[in-house]
Structure 1
Amino acid sequence: MPVVTDQVPRPPSESDTRTVPLDAVAATSSRLGLSVKETPASVEILTQEALRERGSRVLREAIEQSTGFTASAIPNVTSTVSVRGFINNSVNVLYDGIGLPHNSTAARYTDLGNLERIEFLRGPASVLYGDGSVGATINLVSRYPTWVPKADAEYAFSSFNSHRVHAGVGGPILDNAAAIRFDASVNNFGSSVKLTRSQLEQYNGSILIPLGQDLALTLSAEKQIDDIKNAYWGTPFVNGQLAGFLRNVNYNNLTDARMGSDSDWLRANLVWTPTKEWEIRNIAYRYSAYRHWHNVENFAYNAGSNPPTVTRRWFGDLDHDHDVLGDRIQARHIGDIAGFANRFVVGAETSTVSWKSARNGFPGSQVVDAFNPPAVPFSAGTSILRTPARDVSLDSWAIFAEDQLSLTQQLKVLVGGRFDYFEGNWHYIDQGGIRRQQTYREPSYRAALLYDITPLTTVYASYTTASEGGDSLYFLGPQQTQLGLTDARQTEVGLKQDIFGRGEFTFAAYHIVKKNLFVPDPANPTERIPVGQQSSKGVEGTLGYRLNEQWKFDANAALVHARLDDFTEGNPPLSRAGNIPQFVPKYVVNIGVRYSPFVSWEFGAWLRHVDSVFIDNANTQKLPAYTTVDVSAVYKYSRNVEFTARIRNLTDALYATWSAPTQAYIAEPRTFEISARAKF
């Protein structure tokens, strides 16, 4: 069995329900093996048990319950996220610490049953993961083999004839010569929107093979499939308002509407611990995915029509063929320098990406009855089908380093740096075969101080730089490929407090400035120039408190002041300077309470409030604020078997989590769920 250095904190166990486990390691926020308390950043962890306790089933639900986040399940980007004043391309989703460069569409519907935990790092993380993480980084950590036999199974039935099944098993095999873990999740769920039906399948398998007393190899494979029939693309606004009376109508009710994704992960993680001080780690990986759309996606209510009608347009037929091959190697040392405790890590990584897309340009439109749109084939809207449109390749390498030096027992300084080099090649097949090439060289760094005021209280201050594309690099137009990346700077101060072993409290205040945003060129509005600027500043707090064996409280809140400092759009260009960016709420609040009057019973409630958001940079249209309440009751039949009843959106609130200019993605109404779980 491989040696694990005692000096390095362990990740939280799956049964740990603390949101901010100060004594546990958070691998997402540093490669130094630091605990959450030792990390000069805003970190949050949701273990498998915490996810179950809160009732999170898919990635979006887990994101929404974390500090300052909002999320929406738009079909083509199923984890659309806003945090710290930034959205989409500014939030990076990792899989076991590995990012998929430059492409937010790779973040799919993800059932959470196969995960050990989710780690959230708010603020820029380019020093760790390269470009594309100015707002936050979300790391999905799979369940891996252990030397203790474990098995669990769960079944849930919920509204709209929805079913969810998960089963997992793991432990030693072949007389302890190796350990394995296998998890399977199948989630088939309906919707209040007519005809919409989704099936998610996810299969994870891994094997841990000790190759000696200090060397271990873990091989893992993952397959993920999502298949959506008649995907819900939104409900048209009526007189600029959410149309509750159209909430259940599906305008993508094509007889051949389809949408799906099939992806595969292969990973090989080799860990060598030659001494107590040194750890050498290499991870090689391959990701392959095929995603496809065949839908009508845009809807506008026709004011004054009698009977009421809706124009549906954008009959889109397209696909993505996406492949990534990469490797990362790092060496970590834990020891001292001239008698001062010190940790450092140095490493390098490389990846090559191929991304191809065929599309039809989204032609066609139809005027249909607002309440009963006809079920017709795709060909009724357009006869144009997808043809090869774009072929993109991105080759990159990076070097990185981090160091934490303890100047005294209370005072620590942390510095880190990274240099990214990548070369992009674009072939615009549908634009006359235009080819473009660009080379990017992007340094980033962070510096921080931590001070333990007492053994229970730590304060910190940090400064971080980051970069990202003005959009996903795969979607840039020919002229945009010649522009530089967007630069960002963050200053953050914070506090982490252990409440005498009964709870944890964290607080952070930050200021982020993002420069070189792409805006229209005043001399040629169809082209872009990188001169815009956006900023945000805010405060965040997270609290977990266990009053006694019966009562437990969780709460988090975020207040953000975000602005477009220098931004123009339109033709001719109009200034939006001083306006609030799209889909950025001023504040988000979550409050959770759990009460266990008896050993076998537990009752819970989760309240969430999200402020209103503008849906355009002109700040003329808004989605209203909303409040939701979820409640649950758990009966623990035995130590290993329990049953749960849950009601989501108890008050049946009408609200939307995202929108396009003419339509909104209205969330589900009140729903129920009953489930049974067994673990061995």
Structure 2
Amino acid sequence: MSLPPIIVQSKRPPRAKKPATTQQATTRAAPATTRAAPATTRAAPATSVDGDQTPRPPSENDTRTVPLNAAAATSSRLGLSVRETPASVEILTQEALRERGSRVLREAIEQSTGFTAGAIPNITSTVSVRGFINNSVNVLYDGVALPHNSTAARYTDLGNLERIEFLRGPASVLYGDGSVGAIINLVPRYPTWVPKADAEYAFSSFNSHRVHAGVGGPVLDNKAAVRFDATVNNFGSSVKHTRSQLEQYNGSILIPFGQDLTLTLSAEKQIDDIKNAYWGTPFVNGQLAGFLRNINYNNLTDARLGSDSDWLRANLVWNPTKEWEIRNIAYRYSAYRHWHNVENFAYNAGSNPPTVTRKWFGDLDHDHGVLGDRIQARHIGDIAGFANRFVIGAEASTVSWKSARNGFPGSQVVDAFNPPAVPFSAGTSILRTLARDVSLDSWAIFVEDQLSLTKQLKVLGGGRFDHFEGDWLYLDQGGIRRQQTYREPSYRGALLYDITPLTTIYGSYSSASEGGDSLYFLTPQQTDLGLTKARQTEVGLKQDIFGRGEFTLAAYHIIKKNLFVPDPANPNNRIHVGQQSSKGLEATLAYRINEQWKFDANAAFVRARLDDYTEGNPPVSYAGNVPQFVPKYVVNLGLRYSPFESWEFGAWLRHVDSVFINNANTQKLPAYTTVDVSAVYKHNKNVEFAARIRNLTDALYATWSGPTQAYIAEPRTFEISARARF
């Protein structure tokens, strides 16, 4: 679990006076402006009142994307800083998200190094990084992974989050099955002993409204601290009839028990409700059809898509000595997700008048529950005079996943420009029935260690063993039942060397495993197959630019074996013999030129290949082809200028190379470039107003596609907002 700011102070403050940690005091005293003078931009590791030098998460006003001295909780449980972590890490605080104009998860992902994300409702299955997609990218909530699932993360608003942490590369040694490409960790806001409140309202194109309010601080005469946040985002689209509402409510309470024990109880509820969801625009002659971009072919009178999920967590932290920390988190997740749409569209060439065939009238749901617990012990001390950090722990979870579905039957031929608004029953009378009942029970043990061989040289190692048992009941296939037990070890080893106090280099080797698909969606035949295996080698550099900025560089090579490919003897079945690999370079740069100018940039280059892969009947080899939805390079450039204390102007440019939409490499989505601009007026240190234009040039581009349709992004839009902090 990522370390929330409240952990830095285990003692309840005296009633007469509420001392804050260094981090809390810095946060309280920080000016509202995000501009920072060079002398103050390089933050030292936060320390608690008793002198603890453990790195802490960045303060909420820190807008650095790679704060080298802040804790990188997602990439290690040892309490290491970003500098000490032998991996590619980025952290976006709430203030950094605001500065970049990110409102929902997809927007934050796209502005991070090397990521692309499709603008469709189910976010995790449409993320690409380091040459991999689908369940190779996993989204955590507060450091907790939902086992083996790629559909849990939804179209999430960011208002209630404290920060997002990104870890690129395999992470099975930390989180088990999955995540060969990356981990994205959403960290909510937590209580502090300093009273805080904030509120924000934004109005944007298509009559869209977004409201956030949050409040927190000590209660019960300083015997506890609380935090409550609520965000409601109701937004329209350039696509006709589409309307979405996202709601998220968070509450938590921190209760100290004596000097060394704290309990944090947290609850979250997230609701998304999308009417006439946009499922894409059909290609015309293989090209993006700008003249159809505003037409919604899912304009059913009863179309709906949504989810309702709940998180409950209890986080207990005990510090029996200065060297030891014992942490236990118990959690429960429950979600119901449903779809009732028509989702596939194909333009009928040569028809007069022009027509589109819409099909896949899908009626399905997911009933998903997870119950789990993780306990770990961390020791910070020395071995034979060498500084050493050590973590050992175990976790267990049980998962229930049920899905009712109708098999996506039905089709209609409709006017390309005026599709009729009809009920779902006009396409099919078949509705969902319970089709699959899956349970997954798992346990794991893990260990990490970092040993300082010298003041400059550190060696880090980690290992994990996962044991999970799957039980699949296929009610839509005559009640077939399959059972399988997986036993998967994973490990990593790394060296770090501080060339100077400002320059660190590292090298690492790690292993990972994941299902050929999410384990919930395996066919009966696929349950007999083993997991895919991955190995990564990475070397990198982390550089503090004399307190004015940060620069990181990473080079990696990933090989993923045992991919699921069609069986030449029976193409309806799969065998795990395929191989895919990627090599790449990634760089991030943040530089504060002076008090007026700030520059941010990140770039990623990847050479991804299908080394051994066949499809079709008869089978066709695609060895040497580029995997689908993997751009060769992605570049983000940001510039902020503050000519006066009260005004700040910003621009963000993004360029994404073209991608193939199939493994045969016969069709592409074109490259695209977008520009966003913003202006912020700070009335005082607590109140500010902002205006923003996204996609300033009104570029026509698609972020993802199916074989016959593309998900065209929004045209030029505007937003105005007001925010107050107390």
Identical counterparts, % of pairs: 90
8 Å CA contact 2:124–2:135 kept in 1: the answer is no
By how many angstroms is 1:74 displaced? 1.8
- The alignment partner of 1:514 has SS state of strand
Q: Name the SS of the counterpart of 1:56 in structure 2.
A: coil
Q: Give the equivalent residue in structure 1 for 2:492.
A: 446
Judge conservation of contact 2:332–2:369 (CA < 8 Å) in 1: yes
8 Å contact kept, 1:355–1:474: yes
Q: Taking structure 2 as the reference length, what is the TM-score of the superposition? A: 0.93
Paired residues of 1:88 and 1:104 also in contact (CA < 8 A) = yes
1:184-212 CA distance string (max 9 Å, x none):
00000000000000000000000000011
- Distance in 1 between residues matched to 2:702 and 2:553, nearest whole Å: 29
> Is the Cα contact below 8 Å between 2:119 and 2:713 reproduced in 1?
no
Aligned pair count?
A: 675
SS at match of 1:668: coil
CA contact (8 A) 1:17 1:50 kept: yes
**Displacement, 1:76?**
3.8
Provide Cα deviations, 1:577-599, integer angstroms capped at 9, x if missing partner: 00000000000000000000000
Deviation of 1:276 (Å): 0.8
* Structure 1 residue 233: Cα displacement: 0.2
Residue 221 of structure 2 aligns to a residue whose secondary structure is coil
- Is the Cα–Cα contact under 8 Å of residues 62 and 93 in structure 2 kept in the other structure? yes
CA distance in 2, matches of 1:483, 1:13: 46
- For residues 421-464 of structure 1, the C-alpha deviation after alignment (integer angstroms, 9 at most, x for no partner) is 00000000000000000000000000000000000000000000
User: What do the CA deviations read for 1:399-422 (whole angstroms, capped 9, x no partner)?
Assistant: 000000000000000000000000
Q: Secondary structure at the match of 1:86?
A: coil
Contact 1:59 1:79 in 2 (8 A): no
**1:333-389 deviations in Å (ceiling 9; x for gaps):** 000000000000000000000000000000000000000000000000000000010
Deviations 1:303-345 (A, max 9, x none): 0000000000000000000000000000000000000000000
> How far apart are 1:80 and its partner, in Å?
1.9
Asked whether the 8 Å contact 2:124–2:137 carries over to 1, the reply is: no
8 Å Cα contact 1:315-1:363 kept in structure 2:
yes
Contact 1:251 1:299 in 2 (8 A): yes
Work out whether residues 124 and 138 of structure 2, in 8 Å CA contact, stay in contact via their aligned partners in 1. no
Q: Indicate conservation of the 8 Å contact 1:532/1:565, yes or no.
A: yes
Question: How far apart are 1:72 and its partner, in Å?
Answer: 1.2
TM-score normalised by L of structure 1: 0.99
Corresponding position of 2:41: none
| CA contact 1:322–1:354 (8 Å) conserved in 2 | yes
Distance in 1 (CA, whole Å) between partners of 2:613 and 2:523 is 19
Q: Distance in 1 between matches of 2:120 and 2:275?
A: 14
Q: Which secondary structure state, in structure 2, belongs to the residue aligned with residue 111 of structure 1?
A: coil
Conservation of the 8 A alpha-carbon contact between 2:633 and 2:656: yes
- By how many angstroms is 1:75 displaced? 2.3
Specify the SS of the correspondent of 1:578. Answer: coil
Which deviations, in whole Å up to 9, do the C-alpha atoms of 1:200-258 show, x marking residues without a partner? 00000000000110000000000000000000000000000000000000000000000
CA positional deviation for 1:177: 0.2
The 3-state SS of whatever aligns with 1:204 is: strand
Between the aligned partners of 2:218 and 2:294, the Cα distance in structure 1 is: 50
Q: Which whole-Å CA distance do the structure 1 matches of 2:523 and 2:125 have between them?
A: 24
Corresponding position of 1:204:
250
Residues of 1 paired with 2:125 and 2:641: CA distance? 31
Distance 1:514 1:428, change over 3 A: same
Q: Give the gaps of 5 or more residues in structure 1.
A: 1-5
Looking at structure 1, the residues matched to 324 and 602 of structure 2 have their Cα atoms a distance apart, in angstroms, of: 38
SS of the residue 1:36 aligns to = coil
* Structure 2 residue ranges without an equivalent (≥5): 1-51
TM-superposed deviation, 1:538:
0.3
Secondary structure, counterpart of 1:164 in structure 2? strand
- C-alpha displacement at 1:523, in angstroms? 1.4
Deviation at residue 521 of structure 1 after TM alignment: 1.0
* Offset at residue 73 of structure 1 (A): 2.7
Deviation at 1:573, TM superposition (A): 1.3
Contact 1:60 1:79 survives alignment (8 Å): no
The whole-number CA distance in structure 2 between the counterparts of 1:573 and 1:386 is: 34
Distance in 2, Cα, partners of 1:396 & 1:538:
34
Q: Does structure 1 retain, via aligned residues, the 8 Å contact 2:124–2:150?
A: no
CA distance in 1, matches of 2:290, 2:450: 54
Check whether the contact 1:290–1:319 (CA below 8 A) recurs between aligned residues.
yes
CA distance in 1, matches of 2:130, 2:340: 34
For the Cα contact (< 8 Å) 1:78–1:109, is it kept in 2?
no
Cα pair 1:79 1:108 within 8 Å, conserved: no
Aligned equivalent of 1:290: 336
Tell me the CA shift for residue 145 of structure 1.
0.3
Please give the per-residue CA displacement for 1:62-115, whole angstroms capped at 9, x wherever unaligned. Answer: 000000000013224466210000002000100000001111110101111100
Q: Hey, what does 2:279 align to over in structure 1?
A: 233
Deviation at 1:467, TM superposition (A): 0.2
User: 2:117 is paired with a residue of what secondary structure?
Assistant: strand
SS at match of 1:304: coil
Q: CA deviation at 1:7?
A: 2.7
Residue in 2 that maps onto 1:307: 353
C-alpha displacement at 1:40, in angstroms?
0.3
Preserved contact between residue 225 and residue 261 of structure 1 (Cα < 8 Å): yes
Q: Distance in 1 between matches of 2:655 and 2:340?
A: 35
Kept after mapping to 1: 8 A contact 2:124/2:134: no
* Contact residue 536 and residue 560 of structure 1 kept, 8 A: yes
Q: Deviations over 1:21-52 (max 9, x none)?
A: 00000100000000000000000000000000
**8 Å Cα contact 1:73-1:79 kept in structure 2:** no
Match of 2:60 among 3, 14, 24: 14
Deviations 1:485-530 (A, max 9, x none): 0000000000000000000000000000000000111111111100
8 Å Cα contact 2:538-2:556 kept in structure 1 = yes
Q: Cα deviation per residue 1:533-582 (whole Å; 9 max; x = unaligned)? A: 00000000000000111000000000000000000111221111000000
Q: 3-state SS of the aligned residue for 2:74?
A: coil
Contact kept, 8 Å, 2:609 with 2:627, in 1: the verdict is yes
Which one has a larger percent strand, Structure 1 or Structure 2? 1
Q: 1:214 maps to which residue?
A: 260
